[in-house]
Structure 1
């Protein structure tokens, strides 16, 4: 034994939560946290537009688990040990109150991610966690008496236990140091990204958002419904981000070249909208279509769709030509937008893929192949859609690892 030591690799949400809880639960355990960059908790800082989407106000574990495109069965088991109410209580006990918004996302009442960062840093200081920034790990190797870490600076660090909370990697070769321990890695791919639509005229509407749109990917079963934001490069918003998460592997296989089909009025399909438009032709007959927007769409979007359908400011509802009317109906419920490429959502880089879950015990987060080696957070093949789900997995896995190490 090397003086009862735990080394945590990664200074993000999962790593910090493991560190502070392990140090708190076991006063004789020396806890060292290594971060390869010079910034701690960087994703916590930028999450939720700088407010930190701490978790999701889920009614139960089953509901929550269904928000993970990868790892559903795994998190169902882990959430039985540490779930949303536990996260809320943990932060509340440390003076940080969380609030739920209408869409279920939960934030600190301060609306400031620094509140969460300060709380975790304070806990680390309180329980004597030793933090080393600018300290990358080149390799970890099992020895008779524990583990040996070779650091990027050439130093060797020995420890009894290792918790890898290094986050996701964009390239498979970045996992080589973990594969060297005998673990299989599910090839990583981007998740939670926005859609690029180069030269598409809809990008002139950047900043326009629709509260409820239905988006599907032509030729696949992928579809999502929710808020949509038009950007200067294409489309974003919760509906697009969720779609990118569920379709991470399928869209990668298409090399991010596909057609998104948008229904701006998800309460209608082509037939029901046709009937509605026929009624509007009578009820609004003398009014100009440009001046009367009966569907509650943002005015700029309404005008754009009319232009794309060949309708001018002079057209009235009653004298709308059949050809242009049919085009408008299609634009409203089945607008085709070619997508060519993707863009990372702000700075919230998330990947699917990682350490194969069959090699990790969900009850302890310990490797089934290498005793004394634990995992937490996104380094595993678990990823959630946007809305606080990835952070809850980070808190849960970090807490379980801390509990397990403490009980040894």
Structure 2
């Protein structure tokens, strides 16, 4: 029997759900609604315009470790449709992906339009009807079990099943229309953001990065290990972004005002670092400290660290005092910075929060409250760290929802 399936939201999860549903049952009429005039906008801007499609992590048990919210609930869904399935899906449709050194996967064209065009083409081939500039503002469950969709412009249409893929929203009121259907909404707060440090003594070094640092939130059991980038407003890079994701709720409660400690030389303990510097001092006593950077640190960064330790520009290792040496160790191992606010990471705004996973069947993505209502993508309380993980959650949940909706019930 033919069904009318409505998909609300023209992003990655929406397209994947619509395509899957239409391909698995060609009798279904699948209509995708997008409130703006732009389709797949996040796909197009992701990865600097290259689209970080997924991550080269094909073991579901390992893949779930990259999700601060939703990790346990994604285990079985990833077993059915994980990163390898995503790679196969796109390659079967003529889009080859490549893996970069950090595990991120991109189309070999390095162009996000390759991914967007593939999805648009598949939707067209599957006869998915796409309506842009259509803002669905209310869903009404009718007595016969079907739905009525009401647009902001007053137009209505009917559907047998609905897939909501409206993405993460930063304002609680944007979920009111879903709360009206009886769904619990976990408070949306930002995830994946950079740290503003107005008083940073490193701001003049914007653009300088280190391949590895350990960043800790003072007073919390939160730390992150990875590349760190100095910006004109503070800090960014994978170490910061991961920390912002894992600490999203705590940092929101702190109103984004907290202290961080940065270990710039994570391969050393205080004892081994002190031994290393004293050994160098005994062998190269006549060398000027500030002119000879250690540990692969950039020269300008090393110079500022020595300035912070009170070491003058011409001071030789031979003449350094224990007091200055202790200050240098402290600066390298536990550099302290006061964070006062956050900045959105590029255009890729991610929120944690959304429809509570306890109220969704994660095998089918159907609501436990409203039969025939499904969810996929970031509208759910699922979010991953940076690296292709949020798209993978979108492909997985979209696929499972589409497959489930295609079945006659």
Whether TM-score is above 0.5 comes out as: yes
Q: Deviations over 1:127-180 (max 9, x none)?
A: 111111111111101112300111011101110110000001111111000011
CA distance in 2, matches of 1:376, 1:340: 34
Match of 1:402 in 2: 402
Match of 2:110 in 1: 111
Match of 1:23 in 2: 22
Is residue 134 of structure 2 the alignment partner of residue 135 of structure 1? yes
Match of 2:164 in 1: 164
Given that 2:292 and 2:299 are in contact with CA atoms closer than 8 Å, whether structure 1 keeps it comes out as no
Query: Gaps spanning 5+ residues in structure 1: where?
Result: none
Three-state SS of the structure 2 residue aligned to 1:396 is helix
Q: Identify the range of structure 1 (274-283 vs 205-214) with the bigger mean alpha-carbon deviation.
A: 274-283
Match of 2:293 in 1: 293
Three-state SS of the structure 2 residue aligned to 1:27 is coil
Q: CA deviation at 1:59?
A: 4.1
CA distance in 2, matches of 1:217, 1:33: 43
Given that 2:36 and 2:133 are in contact with CA atoms closer than 8 Å, whether structure 1 keeps it comes out as yes
CA distance in 2, matches of 1:277, 1:199: 29
Three-state SS of the structure 2 residue aligned to 1:162 is strand
Q: CA deviation at 1:282?
A: 1.1
Three-state SS of the structure 2 residue aligned to 1:95 is coil
Query: Gaps spanning 5+ residues in structure 2: where?
Result: none
- Map 1:36-47 to 2 at 5 A: 36-47=35-46
Q: Deviations over 1:46-100 (max 9, x none)?
A: 1111111111111411111011111111111211110111100000001100111
Three-state SS of the structure 2 residue aligned to 1:70 is coil
Q: CA deviation at 1:220?
A: 0.5
Is residue 214 of structure 2 the alignment partner of residue 223 of structure 1? no
CA distance in 2, matches of 1:226, 1:199: 23
CA distance in 1, matches of 2:376, 2:139: 16
Q: CA deviation at 1:123?
A: 0.7
Moved over 4 A (4+): none
Match of 1:120 in 2: 119
Count of equivalent residues: 407
Three-state SS of the structure 2 residue aligned to 1:18 is helix
Three-state SS of the structure 2 residue aligned to 1:215 is strand
CA distance in 1, matches of 2:58, 2:373: 33
- Map 1:306-385 to 2 at 5 A: 306-385=306-385
CA distance in 1, matches of 2:271, 2:340: 30
Q: Deviations over 1:225-246 (max 9, x none)?
A: 0001111111000010000000
Three-state SS of the structure 2 residue aligned to 1:258 is strand
CA distance in 2, matches of 1:21, 1:283: 67
Match of 1:51 in 2: 50
Q: Identify the range of structure 1 (158-167 vs 191-200) with the bigger mean alpha-carbon deviation.
A: 191-200
Return the TM-score normalized by structure 1. Answer: 0.98
Match of 1:101 in 2: 100
Three-state SS of the structure 1 residue aligned to 2:137 is strand
Three-state SS of the structure 2 residue aligned to 1:252 is helix
